[in-house]
Amino acid sequence: MTVMRAPGGMSRTGRTVRLAILLAFVVLFLIPVYVLVVTSFKPLDEADPSSAWSLPERWSTSGWSAAWTELKGGLANSVKIAVSGSIISAVLGSLNGYVLSKWRFPGADVVFTLFLFGMFIPYQAVMIPLAGLLTDIELSGTIRGIVLAHVVYGIPICTLIFRNYYVTIPDELIEAARVDGAGMLRAYWSVVLPVSGPAFAVTLIWQFTSMWNDFLFAVFLGAPDSWPVTVMLNNTAGSGAVAVQYNVQMASALLASLPTLLVYLLLGRFFMRGLMAGALKG
């Protein structure tokens, strides 16, 4: 009996089973998304858990309008926090990774180990002293204070990403720059930075997603005028209204998740390319 095999060596039956399993996982993942989208376009009188699977009898954007009105301030704060914080984290991580990989100094391995140790310190362990520090420097309850907390906490992972990526750059390029008279910053600017695109893509996407989705730092260190969209979304879900506005809640959840979804859809291939580039050595 002859078994038909696909060009890659897998039998046709095995390939069909694999595709069926993948399709089942895709459907399972998209079920909550379907409920979110459908419910968000229902008017208030139709938005009920008993009819969550049915399409709207009357398509309405009232839920989206109400969600935008409630979340637009939080969305603006999230953009300020995530964009500025991710850029600062990427720049600092790039400089740290460059020094630790190409301009080694006595005790560099110890310093790198301490950086890595910072990745395993939970948020809860530093929350109270961090709040006290921000109060002392008059940044408590401000967007700048939240950004500072995220940048400091993101330095270890950003340093790790860039350090592992820069290890793959031949040392001969740095030595050639030194021979030509380039110092530390000049070699970084002329040789290392132009080829750092993949590492910057990974770091920016990682930090942007972490800062956008953060709730603990925001609610503990922020104030009503600096709360990001995650805190505003929580307040929308727990408003305590007599009639639960499921259409507004679903639209709010979609609005809060769209930026990170778009980032991964547009830049996902750069994210994977950068991860693979940094995984070759180190």
Distance CA 28, CA 142 (A): 40
| DSSP H helical ranges for 103-194 | 108-117, 123-136, 143-166, 171-179, 184-187
pLDDT, residue 1, reads 44
Task: Decide if 238 contacts 116 (C-beta within 8 A).
Answer: no
Q: What is the reported pLDDT for 271?
A: 72
Spell out the per-residue pLDDT of the chain, length 282, in tens.
444 454 555 678 888 899 999 999 998 988 888 998 999 999 888 888 878 888 888 898 988 999 999 999 999 999 999 999 999 999 999 999 999 888 878 888 888 888 888 888 888 888 888 889 999 999 988 999 999 999 999 999 999 999 989 988 888 888 888 888 888 888 899 889 998 888 998 899 999 999 999 999 999 998 989 999 999 988 876 555 556 788 898 999 999 999 988 888 887 777 777 666 654 444
According to the model, what pLDDT value does residue 212 have? 94
8 A C-beta contact, residue 213 and residue 259: no
Give the pLDDT score at 3: 47
What is the reported pLDDT for 75?
A: 94
Give the start-to-end residue ranges of the domains of the chain: 65-278
Measure the CA–CA gap between 36 and 219, rounded to whole angstroms.
25
Residue 48 half-sphere exposure toward CB, CA atoms < 13 A: 5
What's the CATH number for 65-278?
1.10.3720.10
